[in-house]
Structure 1
Amino acid sequence: MRLQGFSTNGDRRLARRSATYAALDLGTNNCRLLVARPVRESESASGEHFRIVDSFSRIVRLGEGLTQTGRLSEAAIQRTIDALLVCREKMAARGVTRSRLIATEACRSAANGFEFIERVRERVGLELEIISRETEARLAAEGCASLADSAAKSVVLFDIGGGSSEIVWLAAGAGVPGGDRIRHWTSLQLGVVTLAERFGGAEVSYAQFSAMTDLVEAELQSFLASASCEERCQRFHLLGTSGTVTTLAGVHLNLPRYDRRRVDGLWMSRAEIDAVMNRLRRMSYAERSQNSCIGPERADLVLAGCAILEGIRRCFPSERIRIADRGLREGMLLELMRADRSVD
């Protein structure tokens, strides 16, 4: 079921007032849905041009075991289909009129990725689109760039995923769509799931953490070289989106339960990132599982995410990082709404 948009001029005028949009991001680890309606920027407390009317997130681990077998397992497929059925019902209940439903690294790299997409179409009635790594980087920039310091000449955006991590060099350009600000980008085939399966996630020694960090740093060298000519100023900073950085922020704030309003847009200093990562590395698997901002579903992945972040920080030293609890889904929503002229 591909939910269609409006086509006539009259329909487009109606879309400004009543259209309901959905964006679904099926990653290696998570299945996430946002349903939103456009609003005037002056009416939005977050400045995101839309109001969220429904959401859904479930850890499905679609890519579990993929690095060993090259295929999506039957158990992972069933977990994911169950989550997609929930998404379908939410979209129907909210009367979604326009949508984009994407799948990323797990489906890109699995031998049976396209077979899975067809199975979802037949079983669930949703048409998933396997996007390229370049498109993934662009959507991340579209969704997050509004959080970049408008006075900075350049910013490095990173999105640490389950099966891949996208790194983007953004040029200055307040008010310019994020996708138009990309100067360089790369996609590492390294994510929290792939690294944890390769090096270990439940119990991570100093040597294992160092090995993961060294690997990420090595993989970033060509990107670092391509961006070496770009200018950095004193306001240069990192902008991170993913479960890794939002988890770090939640733990740093000692939140009794995760709160997006406290996390999205938070600035953290280099010293604060150092402190919270050291705190996580000292925790046992059981302690990470019991932390309200991590939980048992992420306890074996968060240190792999920390290692990826540490590799990025080594290559792009910065005194501060801004945390984004927004990304691909928000980027898709903005692009759909702009195409319909539902937002400026």
Structure 2
Amino acid sequence: MSSSEQGSSITPALQSVDAPLPFHDDLYAALDLGTNNCRLLIAQPTRPGHFRVVDAFSRIVRLGEGLAATGRLSNDAMDRAVEALRICALKLAAKPIRKMRLIATEACRAAANGEEFLARVTAETGLELEIIDRETEARLAVSGCSSLVGREARSIVLFDIGGGSSEIAVIRIADNRSSRLANHITHWTSLPVGVVTLSERYGGRDVTPDVFEAMICEVQGMLAKFDCPPPEAGGNGSDYDFHLIGTSGTVTTLAGVHLDLPRYDRRRVDGLWLSDAEVSAMQAKLLSWDFAGRAANPCIGPDRADLVLAGCAILEAIRRRWPSPRMRVADRGLREGLLTDMMADDGVWRRIRSRRSGSTGSGEVLRRR
């Protein structure tokens, strides 16, 4: 859940794009319909491993609201999601998309009427969404954060705290580093809990320290079933060999509060490093605020004030399982992973290098591959 996109949003780059795009046919789109959010990105590949966002949309739809209690998607929740998906369909139809991938995650996986709902989506919007499994979701989260992993890193735990599930990937990088970070996943798990399900179970408005600890303990119990050895220190034994990467609205919210931003700014948050002490301090600050105080904070807002402490509880359970001196914040996730994988599969960065190399000759291009 990205706190940078509450309601619909279009990137500043889109508003000023009047000149023709250099590779106008190379537009890719990724849509992620989750338990809490509906998100769309349309992007164009630039330098290897990177892309420029041409259009973006995100809306909180709470598709999984009440799902844990009933096992079904409610009519109101489905209506909210369909309304958001209609906007996405219009955006996709307005541009020459080379390739797109549209996915649905935990809410549609878990709901008895998930497939029925997606059939309605196709009938009413023309969009055909696929329900991905948990392993694919974990790999996509890793792919989306590849550019935030420095060359010095040897061991990483990357986590994505979602609305209905939380994916965790353990990554170990040897000297022979693959161009696709997901190839270095050694262990992964998907916890059947997210900010929506946990807050509904314990109540998200009035969270006491005892309730907060109870949420942490529940998640710790789930993590205890994850059979995974502790991270290995790198050759130089430095703290920089191992760290956490968090991609979710929980960690971006903590970063925004830490920076005391007057309004959320993705450019300042994405890639930010937080020390262990800073994360603890921000969690304590949020726990000290009542619902109104959380809702009044510009990096949280009323739509997520009842969810953020559940996310902090999941984060705290992860930190207790994998203590780390620092954590990197990622305001990116499944959509970025989808885009990265589609562009890499199509070889667009190799084609861009070929076009730009011009006089360097084919030998230079081959050495770069």
Q: TM-score, normalization: structure 2?
A: 0.85
Contact (CA 8 Å) 1:196, 1:300: kept in 2 or not?
yes
* Counterparts of 2:41 and 2:108, CA distance in 1: 20
Partner residue of 2:294?
288
Query: In the TM superposition, what is the alpha-carbon distance from 1:331 to its structure 2 partner?
Result: 0.6
Query: In the TM superposition, what is the alpha-carbon distance from 1:339 to its structure 2 partner?
Result: 1.6
* Counterparts of 2:232 and 2:142, CA distance in 1: 19
* Counterparts of 1:266 and 1:80, CA distance in 2: 31
Q: Secondary structure at the match of 2:303?
A: coil
* Counterparts of 1:343 and 1:287, CA distance in 2: 46
Could you tell me which amino acid in structure 2 is paired with residue 36 of structure 1? A
Partner residue of 1:226?
228
Q: Secondary structure at the match of 1:218?
A: helix
* Counterparts of 1:104 and 1:51, CA distance in 2: 25
Contact (CA 8 Å) 2:263, 2:299: kept in 1 or not?
yes
Could you tell me which amino acid in structure 2 is paired with residue 134 of structure 1? E
Partner residue of 2:8?
none
**Correspondence 1:217-296 to 2 at 5 A:** 217-223=220-226, 225-228=227-230, 230-233=231-234, 234-235=239-240, 236-296=242-302
Query: In the TM superposition, what is the alpha-carbon distance from 1:226 to its structure 2 partner?
Result: 2.0
Partner residue of 2:124?
123
* Counterparts of 1:21 and 1:193, CA distance in 2: 30
**Correspondence 1:289-304 to 2 at 5 A:** 289-304=295-310
Could you tell me which amino acid in structure 1 is paired with residue 332 of structure 2? R
Partner residue of 2:211?
208
**Correspondence 1:95-174 to 2 at 5 A:** 95-172=96-173, 174=177
Residue 33 of structure 2 is aligned to residue 26 of structure 1: yes
Partner residue of 2:187?
184
* Counterparts of 2:344 and 2:148, CA distance in 1: 19
* Counterparts of 2:223 and 2:151, CA distance in 1: 26
Query: In the TM superposition, what is the alpha-carbon distance from 1:176 to its structure 2 partner?
Result: 2.5
Q: Secondary structure at the match of 1:159?
A: strand
Could you tell me which amino acid in structure 1 is paired with residue 100 of structure 2? S
* Counterparts of 1:316 and 1:147, CA distance in 2: 19
* Counterparts of 1:97 and 1:148, CA distance in 2: 28
* Counterparts of 1:61 and 1:232, CA distance in 2: 40
Contact (CA 8 Å) 1:241, 1:326: kept in 2 or not?
yes
Partner residue of 1:307?
313
Q: Secondary structure at the match of 1:122?
A: helix
Q: Root-mean-square deviation (CA), in Å? A: 1.5
Identity of paired residues, percent? Answer: 60
Query: In the TM superposition, what is the alpha-carbon distance from 1:148 to its structure 2 partner?
Result: 2.0
Could you tell me which amino acid in structure 2 is paired with residue 324 of structure 1? A
Query: In the TM superposition, what is the alpha-carbon distance from 1:16 to its structure 2 partner?
Result: 6.2
Work out which of the two has the higher radius of gyration on C-alpha atoms and give 1 or 2.
2
Contact (CA 8 Å) 1:241, 1:327: kept in 2 or not?
yes
Query: In the TM superposition, what is the alpha-carbon distance from 1:172 to its structure 2 partner?
Result: 1.5
Structure 1 segments of 4+ aligned residues over 4 angstroms from their partners: none
* Counterparts of 2:23 and 2:52, CA distance in 1: 13
Contact (CA 8 Å) 1:169, 1:227: kept in 2 or not?
no
Q: Secondary structure at the match of 1:162?
A: coil
Partner residue of 1:197?
200
Q: Secondary structure at the match of 2:225?
A: helix
* Counterparts of 2:147 and 2:34, CA distance in 1: 23
Query: In the TM superposition, what is the alpha-carbon distance from 1:165 to its structure 2 partner?
Result: 0.1
